[in-house]
Amino acid sequence: MAGSTFGTLFKITTWGESHGKALGVVIDGCPAGLPLCEEDIQTYLDRRKPGQTSIATPRKESDMVEILSGVFEGLTTGTPLSLMVRNTSQKSSDYSEIASCYRPGHADYCFDAKYGLRDYRGGGRSSGRETIGRVAAGAVAAKILSTIGITLRAYTKSIGPVSIDMSNFDPEAILTCATCMPDRTADQKAMDYLKECMRDKDSSGGVIECVIEGVPAGVGDPVFDKLDGDLAKAIMSIGAVKAVEIGDGTSVSQARGSQNNDPFVNVEGIVSKKTNHAGGILGGISDGSPIIVRAHVKPTPSIFSPQETVNARKENVEIAIKGRHDPVVVPRAVVVVESMAALAILDACMRNMTARLSYLTDFYKIE
C-alpha cells in the first residue's frame, strides 16, 4: 500500500511520475448515467496548467486527458473510469543535478530513506504533476455534485503579505487573474510582490480558501470520518500544504464561547445559523451552512538562491536549483484544493445515503 487511493464509495487511485510516460487516475464507484466527455475534465486540468503570465513556468504542457474506460455513448456506465494524460514535454536532462543531491524543502531525501531509490526526474511521484489525477477525478466529482445542488469555489486568499479584500470579491477574477485571486486590486499587489520575490531569487507562500455551498445538513460521520476530518486529510495530502482550517480555524483558540457559538434560528421554516464561525460543520456533520476550508501553502521550495544541503553520499554541498519553477504554487493549487474538497464531499454524500433504515426501505420498496 503506497497510499495512492482516496475515498470509500467514490474511490480514486492515482498513478504516475513527473517524467514517466503518463499520469492518470482510476475512479471506481462513479454512479452510472452521468453524461461525461473529455472536455468536462479538460476544463479542470487547464486550470492547473501554467499560464502565460510572468510568474508561471514557461514550460509548455498540453496535458490532454483521454478517457480510456467507463463511458459508453456519452454516459458513465458505473464501471471504473480510467483517465490518462500522456507526458510529452519532459526533458530528463533538466533535472540531472537532483539525482545526487537532496533539495531542501523537497521529498528527495525522504524517498531515498523510504524506498532505497527514487525516480529523481522532476521530483518523480512527488512532483506537482502528481495532482493531475486528483484534478481529473475532482472534475468528475464536481460535476456529480452540481447535479445535487452542491457547488465549490476555491480561490487564492493571500500571497505572502497580500490578502484579498472580501468587499472587492469578483468571482470572474478567479479564472482570469494570474494569482487566482477574486480581487483584481489584490491580484496586482500580489503580482508585484511575486516579482520582488523572483528578483530576490526567492519564492512565496499563500492561502487558498474553498467555499462549498448547497451541502444539506447531515453529511459526514460523527467520529473518525467526520466531514472536517476527511477534508483535513484531503487538503493536507496536497504537497506544500502545512495547515488546514475549518470556518474560523486558528482564531477559535483565542475566542470565547459566546463569540464562537453560532445561534440557530428559524429562517422561513428552515433551521439556519445566524453566523457561521463553525464553517458549516458541527460534530463532524454538515449543518446546512456553507462549508469553509482553508489551506496554508508553503513557498515553492525550488529557489534560485544557493542553499546548503547534503548529497547522497552525505557530503555537505551547496545547491542552486536551475531550470523552471514558479515563485508561488498557490494559483496552480487552487483547482487542486477544489478537487480534493469535491472528492471528500461527494464520498461523504454517498456514504450518507444509508444512514437511516427508512432510506433502505424507500429504496428497496416492495410493491
**Which of 148, 151, 168 has its CA nearest to residue 290?**
151
Closest CB to a copy of itself among residues 212, 282: 282
- Shortest separation between residue 334's beta carbon and a copy of itself, angstroms: 14
- Shortest separation between residue 21's beta carbon and a copy of itself, angstroms: 5
- Shortest separation between residue 53's beta carbon and a copy of itself, angstroms: 19
- Shortest separation between residue 172's beta carbon and a copy of itself, angstroms: 24
By CB neighbour count within 10 A (0-12 exposed, 13-18 middle, 19+ buried), where does 363 fall? exposed
- Residues in binding contact with a copy of itself, number by CB under 8 A: 172
Among residues 55, 140, 154, 285, the one that binds a copy of itself under rule CB under 8 A: 285
Residues of this chain, 115-154, that bind a copy of itself according to CB under 8 A: 115-119, 121, 124-126, 130, 144, 147-149
Residues of this chain, 302-361, that bind a copy of itself according to CB under 8 A: 302-303, 305, 307-310, 314-316, 349-361
- Shortest separation between residue 70's beta carbon and a copy of itself, angstroms: 7
CA atoms within 13 A on the CB side of 268: 0
Closest CB to a copy of itself among residues 52, 128: 128
Closest CB to a copy of itself among residues 20, 50: 20
The answer to whether 103 and 126 are in contact (CB under 8 A) is no
Closest CB to a copy of itself among residues 219, 342: 219
Q: State the first-to-last Cα distance of the chain, in angstroms, to the nearest integer.
A: 45
Closest CB to a copy of itself among residues 45, 71: 71
Residues of this chain, 177-196, that bind a copy of itself according to CB under 8 A: none
Q: Could you give the string, one character per residue 42-81, with x where binding to a copy of itself holds by CB under 8 A and - elsewhere?
A: ------------------------xxxxx-xx-xxxxxxx
Dist. CA 3–CA 331, nearest whole Å:
26
List of E strands, 52-103:
65-69, 71-72, 75-76, 81-86
Among residues 164, 210, 282, 336, the one that binds a copy of itself under rule CB under 8 A: 282
Residue carrying C-alpha cell 460543520: 281
57 phi, psi to nearest 5 deg: -60, 135
The CA-atom distances, in angstroms, between 89 and each of 24, 58, 312 are 16, 11, 28
- Shortest separation between residue 290's beta carbon and a copy of itself, angstroms: 15
The answer to whether 221 and 285 are in contact (CB under 8 A) is yes
By CB neighbour count within 10 A (0-12 exposed, 13-18 middle, 19+ buried), where does 222 fall? exposed
- Shortest separation between residue 183's beta carbon and a copy of itself, angstroms: 16
**Which of 150, 135, 355 has its CA nearest to residue 234?**
135
Q: Could you give the string, one character per residue 212-251, with x where binding to a copy of itself holds by CB under 8 A and - elsewhere?
A: --x-xxxxxxxxxxx-xxxxxxxxxx-x--xxxxxxxxxx
Extract the C-alpha cell encoding 227.
466531514
Q: Which amino acid is at 337?
A: V
- Shortest separation between residue 60's beta carbon and a copy of itself, angstroms: 22
